[in-house]
Amino acid sequence: MSEPTVVVVVTGLSGAGKSNALHALEDLGFFCIDNLPTALAPQAVEVCEAGGMRRIGLGIDVRVGAFLDTISNTLMLIGGAGARTLQVLFLDASDETLFRRFNETRRPHPLTAHDGGREGFAVLDGVRLERERLSPLRASATHIIDTTRLSVHELRRMVLERFGPDHEGLVRMATRIVTFGFKYGSPVDADLLIDVRFLTNPYFVRELRGQSGLDEPVARYVLDQPDASAFIDKILDLLQFTIPRYEREGKSYLTVAIGCTGGRHRSVAIAETLAPKLRASLQSPVAVVHRDMHRVAETMPPPSTRIPVTEADVQVPAPGALPRRIP
């Protein structure tokens, strides 16, 4: 038996957050169509179903004009066909809040153009007329959200809670651990940055230099250090505390960057040990990316073969003399 289709019609007053709600639905895997004439909505849903899409979002507002007169029949056609679940999300806000939002963005109200731009047609006039025209949609709404006191992030979280999969009402956030070398620069998309350069570097062990943190000898060298296991436990505690809270705020993805000097040994070993512990504790997928592990290591002699510099090798010019030019 095929999966039932879920159709969410997102509507409401201009400036109340309809675009942000549609973006949240897209993040949940909905295929969203905005500003669709109501007469075309049933056909659009059928086309999406034929293409295997089972989560569909339709944005309908006052810009569709006279098509609003047939909205009740349209909703009946969408919800009454096949194995479909129809939900209508109506976004509202106070007149004062909508006026302030239009004033901040300096955009005209949509009805200004639709009504010929007649002289004296103010934003508040458009809001009141829009309320009247959208009253049939509001009466058909299964969810009404007042965004007067909501931030963009709070609205997103409410949409995720109402239309997301059943995991404490939240969609799971995508977590990614990226290892990198500080000498190549930190990842620009890092949300949390962790430095493991305090651990002893396997690079200076001749037998381990050409290997990576994925190899058992290097991993053992790093993880057998007394501070390594304690550090992993502390980082695990930090992520177990913060990740659910990032999810609760509606964050879609989190990048945890773990860095060492070259991004080849210590950071790789720590990330490979941390990731499975995090997956098991949070019951969510955690991806691991080694950004700089395959870069060619610079040729650098180990400390035992470096030539020391003595005082005899340093020539100090006499007072007042010009420094000797080095060719």
Q: What is the CATH number of the domain that holds 68?
A: 3.40.50.300
Could you give the CA distance from residue 244 to residue 58 in angstroms, rounded to a whole number?
Answer: 30
Could you give the CA distance from residue 307 to residue 302 in angstroms, rounded to a whole number?
Answer: 11
The pLDDT assigned to 277 comes to: 94
For residue 326, pLDDT over 50 is answered with no
Phi-psi region of 305 (alpha: psi -120 to 50; beta: other; left: phi over 0): alpha
Task: Please tell me whether residues 142 and 210 are part of one structural domain.
Answer: no
**Average of per-residue pLDDT values in the chain:** 82
Q: Provide CB contacts within 8 A for 318, sequence distance 6+.
A: none
The pLDDT assigned to 131 comes to: 85
Which band of pLDDT confidence, cut at 50, 70 and 90, is reported for residue 305? very low
Q: Are 62 and 200 in contact (CB under 8 A)?
A: no
Considering only residues 272 and 72, tell me which one the structure prediction assigns the higher pLDDT: 272
Task: Please tell me whether residues 147 and 199 are part of one structural domain.
Answer: no
Number of independent structural domains in the chain = 2
Average pLDDT over residues 50-76: 78
For residue 213, pLDDT over 80 is answered with yes
DSSP state at residue 321: P
Which band of pLDDT confidence, cut at 50, 70 and 90, is reported for residue 314? very low
- Give the best-scoring range by mean pLDDT among 150-154, 204-208, 266-270, 308-312: 266-270
In a domain, 322, yes or no: no
Task: Please tell me whether residues 36 and 151 are part of one structural domain.
Answer: yes
Task: Please tell me whether residues 194 and 159 are part of one structural domain.
Answer: no
β strands within 188-252, DSSP E: 192-195
Could you give the CA distance from residue 111 to residue 63 in angstroms, rounded to a whole number?
Answer: 8
Task: Please tell me whether residues 107 and 194 are part of one structural domain.
Answer: no
Task: Please tell me whether residues 197 and 106 are part of one structural domain.
Answer: no
Strand bridging mode 174-181 / 286-290: parallel
Q: Provide CB contacts within 8 A for 19, sequence distance 6+.
A: 34, 59
In a domain, 315, yes or no: no
Backbone angles phi, psi at 12, to 5 degrees: 140, -175
Helix (H) or strand (E) holding 104: helix 95-105
The pLDDT assigned to 275 comes to: 95
Task: Please tell me whether residues 281 and 249 are part of one structural domain.
Answer: yes
First to last CA, the chain: 82
The pLDDT assigned to 102 comes to: 79
Task: Please tell me whether residues 113 and 192 are part of one structural domain.
Answer: no
Q: Are 21 and 91 in contact (CB under 8 A)?
A: yes
Task: Please tell me whether residues 33 and 151 are part of one structural domain.
Answer: yes
In a domain, 138, yes or no: yes
Question: Which has the closest alpha carbon to 127: 17, 10, 12?
Answer: 12
Question: Which has the closest alpha carbon to 317: 327, 326, 305, 308?
Answer: 326
Could you give the CA distance from residue 139 to residue 137 in angstroms, rounded to a whole number?
Answer: 5
Which band of pLDDT confidence, cut at 50, 70 and 90, is reported for residue 307? very low
Q: Which of 141, 163, 185 lies at the terminal end of a domain, its last residue?
A: 163
β-partners of residue 256 are 177, 192
- Tell me which residue has tokens 């930090």: 238
In a domain, 98, yes or no: yes
Which band of pLDDT confidence, cut at 50, 70 and 90, is reported for residue 68? low
Task: Please tell me whether residues 142 and 179 are part of one structural domain.
Answer: no
Task: Please tell me whether residues 247 and 137 are part of one structural domain.
Answer: no
In a domain, 79, yes or no: yes
Domain hosting residue 208, numbered range:
174-295
Average pLDDT over residues 41-58: 90
In a domain, 301, yes or no: no
Task: Please tell me whether residues 113 and 187 are part of one structural domain.
Answer: no
Cα 80-85-140 angle, rounded to 5 deg: 75
Question: Which has the closest alpha carbon to 163: 250, 253, 72?
Answer: 250
In a domain, 70, yes or no: yes
The pLDDT assigned to 113 comes to: 55
In a domain, 86, yes or no: yes
The pLDDT assigned to 66 comes to: 56
For residue 262, pLDDT over 70 is answered with yes
